[in-house]
Structure formats: structure tokens, C-alpha cells
Amino acid sequence: MDGEDTAGRLIEATQELLWERGYVGTSPRAVQRRAGVGQGSMYHHFGGKPDLARAAVHRSAEEMQARAEADLSGAGGALGRVRAYLTRERAVLRGCRVGGLAQDPDVVADPGLRAPLQETFDRLRARLAEVLEEGRADGEFRPDLDPAGTAATVVAVVQGGYVLARSAGHPGPFHEAVDGLLRLLDAHAAEPDTRP
């Protein structure tokens, strides 16, 4: 419960380094330095690098799920909540602290490390599909909307938007991809969009 305890500081430092440098690029030594914790102390609390990373990835996954849930359970209609999720302020050039790890071969090869990624995106897609299905049932979307497929598309656009933005060196392509998707979704609204 104490955010200032040694194990907690180690996990936080690992979360930051995994976000910045990935799993391969993060050494126990760098974690110790950032956490201000000695070698022996780290190995007392955690079994090693994979063990430490599992704890950090698990926490990052929980935090990401909580943020998404906040957007998707807010006020407004289905499209409004999906729009809230898509247009939430993000540190675009930093990428996704969960999705970014999927690029790492050592992460996808370790079931304990990959599981939080899988769970996060499975739940996010399922929750988005629920919201979209609500919108269809309410007549907000056309009846031919595919909730599950569209949900996967929404999540992919965000993750792919990060890739395009980091490749470009600026956040522009992320926002273009999101705006393009929102226009496609607008066109799927039951009533033709007549905004100026």
C-alpha cells in the first residue's frame, strides 16, 4: 500500500524503463539506479529481470485498462464515448506502454510477460464492442455495423497511429489516422451527418 517502499519503487522504475527502452533495452542495473536501490536489494524482492518485468507489465496493463474504461463508461452516446477514447490526450511520440512491448521477441516468447498484453487488448476490444453494440441497439448506428470487427479496427488504429507518429517524428499521422476513422464511423451513424 505504501508507494514509497523498495519493491514499489523498483516496479515504477521498471515501468518507466520498459516504456522508454523496451524489455531487451532495460537492464536490472539501470532499474536499480533509477529506483535508487542496491543490487542485493533488488534480488531480494524479485527473482530477476523477467520476474521484475512481469510485475511492471502487469501494473502498466491494469493502469491502461482503467484509463480506457474511464473513457468508455463516461457520459454520452456510444459514438461520443468511442470518440472520447480515440481523442483522449496522449503522449503520442512515447507510444503505448503496453502495445509497444509486443514488438519485443523476449516478451511475446514469455507467457507471463505476454499475458497482460493479450488480456489488455482482449478486454479493450470486448468493451468497445459492447459500446458499439449498445449504439446499434439504440439506433445510433446503422444496423449493419459489425461491433466486434469495428472494435478491433478502433484499437488497431490507435496502436498503428503510434507507429506512424514515431516513424514520422511528429504526432501528425496519429491524429490523421484517428480523424480518418472517426469520419468513417460518422458515416455509419444512422442519420446522415450534416454538420458544416
Q: How far apart are CA 157 and CA 99, in angstroms?
A: 12
Residues in contact with DNA, counted by CB under 7 A, come to a total of 17
Picked from a second copy, DNA, none, the partner binding residue 55 (CB below 5 to 8 A depending on kind) is none
The one-letter amino acid code at 111 reads P
81 CB neighbour count, 10 Å cutoff = 20
Picked from a second copy, DNA, none, the partner binding residue 87 (CB below 5 to 8 A depending on kind) is none
Picked from a second copy, DNA, none, the partner binding residue 41 (CB below 5 to 8 A depending on kind) is DNA
SS3 189: strand
Q: How far apart are CA 193 and CA 140, in angstroms?
A: 12
Q: Determine which residue in the list 122, 126, 137, 138 makes contact with a second copy, applying CB under 8 A.
A: 122
SS3 143: coil
Contact 17, 34 (CB under 8 A): yes
Which of the stretches 2-10, 62-70, 73-81, 111-119 binds a second copy when contact is defined by CB under 8 A? 111-119
What torsion, rounded to 10 degrees, do the Cα atoms 76, 80, 83, 89 define? -30
Q: Could you give the angle at the alpha carbon of 163 between the alpha carbons of 56 and 92, nearest 5°?
A: 70
148 interacts with DNA by CB under 7 A: no
100 interacts with a second copy by CB under 8 A: yes
Site for DNA in 12-31 (CB under 7 A): 26-30
Q: Which stretches of the chain bind DNA, using CB under 7 A?
A: 6, 26-30, 37-41, 43-45, 48-50
Q: Which stretches of the chain bind a second copy, using CB under 8 A?
A: 20-22, 24-25, 95-96, 98-100, 102-106, 108, 114, 117-118, 120-122, 125, 142, 144, 146, 148-153, 155-164, 166-169, 173-174, 176-177, 179-181, 183-185, 187-188, 193
